[in-house]
A and B are shown apart, each in its own frame.
Chain A
Amino acid sequence: QQQVKQSPQSLIVQKGGISIINCAYENTAFDYFPWYQQFPGKGPALLIAIRPDVSEKKEGRFTISFNKSAKQFSLHIMDSQPGDSATYFCAASMGTSGSRLTFGEGTQLTVNP
């Protein structure tokens, strides 16, 4: 029940296209769903996060869509750029601040020029 499943494992998109990464979870107690972006040799950076009381959150070119009944959430990157090429991780946690994160397996995104 602690797992977060992420797909696809890798994704290749043309510049200007839309990148979509999906995650599914089992534990209905999860109440915080962040996405992290990681470049090679660097630590993950918080990109955007959502809570289950909203179905969508948008920040710039990045949008999270959240489907509570299906226990799924996804990251959409609009107008994908070569600089977006990185590994993306979804995660989930529950409870108050400081709760441990359960990570998805990661998606390696390549945006071709």
Chain B
Amino acid sequence: GAVVSQHPSRVICKSGTSVKIECRSLDFQATTMFWYRQFPKQSLMLMATSNEGSKATYEQGVEKDKFLINHASLTLSTLTVTSAHPEDSSFYICSAPTSGGRNEQFFGPGTRLTVL
């Protein structure tokens, strides 16, 4: 299957700081990427759809000014958690669909964010 990477895998930061998470499609191009957050023992919750060359589409209830998304190239999307607070501590996962009409989506390994 296609490979999606995320960096960093873990990050610990102080309350009030900003954290950037990168999502890369390593062996295919992705005009669209998705960002999810997952709390312990819960399902994945879609936060936003990242679109290459245009603004991201945010799900209802997700603050676009707090979770900044930039999809600058066909292989890279970034999620920046601004002014992070302890309640933002979560597992953040990105996914990217392959092209060709097969609808297959591949997920990154996730980023564990802990805000102190």
Chain A contact residues, CB within 8 Å of chain B: 32, 34, 36, 41-46, 49, 89, 93, 96-101, 103-106, 108
**6 shortest A-B CB distances, which residue pairs?**
A43-B107, A98-B97, A98-B32, A32-B103, A43-B110, A43-B109
A–B pairs, 19, beta carbons within 8 Å: A34-B104, A34-B105, A42-B110, A43-B107, A43-B108, A43-B109, A46-B104, A49-B104, A89-B43, A93-B103, A93-B105, A96-B103, A97-B102, A98-B103, A99-B103, A100-B46, A101-B105, A105-B42, A106-B43
Chain B contact residues, CB within 8 Å of chain A: 1, 4, 6, 31-32, 34, 41-44, 46, 49, 91, 93, 95, 97-110, 112
Contacts of A98 in B (CB 8 A): 31-32, 97, 99, 103
Contacts of B106 in A (CB 8 A): 46
Q: Tally of A-B residue pairs with Cβ under 8 A?
A: 67
CA distance A105 to B44 in the complex (A): 8
Known A-B contacts A36-B107, A46-B104; the reply to A97 vs B44 at CB < 8 A is no
Contacts of B6 in A (CB 8 A): 43
Known A-B contacts A43-B108, A49-B104; the reply to A97 vs B99 at CB < 8 A is yes
A100 close to B44 (CB less than 8 A): no
Residue of B nearest to A87 (CB): B41
A97 close to B100 (CB less than 8 A): yes
CA distance A89 to B43 in the complex (A): 8
Q: How far is the CB of A84 from chain B (nearest CB, A)?
A: 18
Contacts of A44 in B (CB 8 A): 44, 93, 107
Q: How far is the CB of A95 from chain B (nearest CB, A)?
A: 8
A42 close to B109 (CB less than 8 A): yes
Contacts of A46 in B (CB 8 A): 1, 104-107
Q: How far is the CB of B6 from chain A (nearest CB, A)?
A: 8
Interface residue from A49, A97, A100, A105 paired with B34 (Cβ < 8 Å)? A100
A100 close to B107 (CB less than 8 A): no
Residue of A nearest to B1 (CB): A46
Contacts of B109 in A (CB 8 A): 42-43
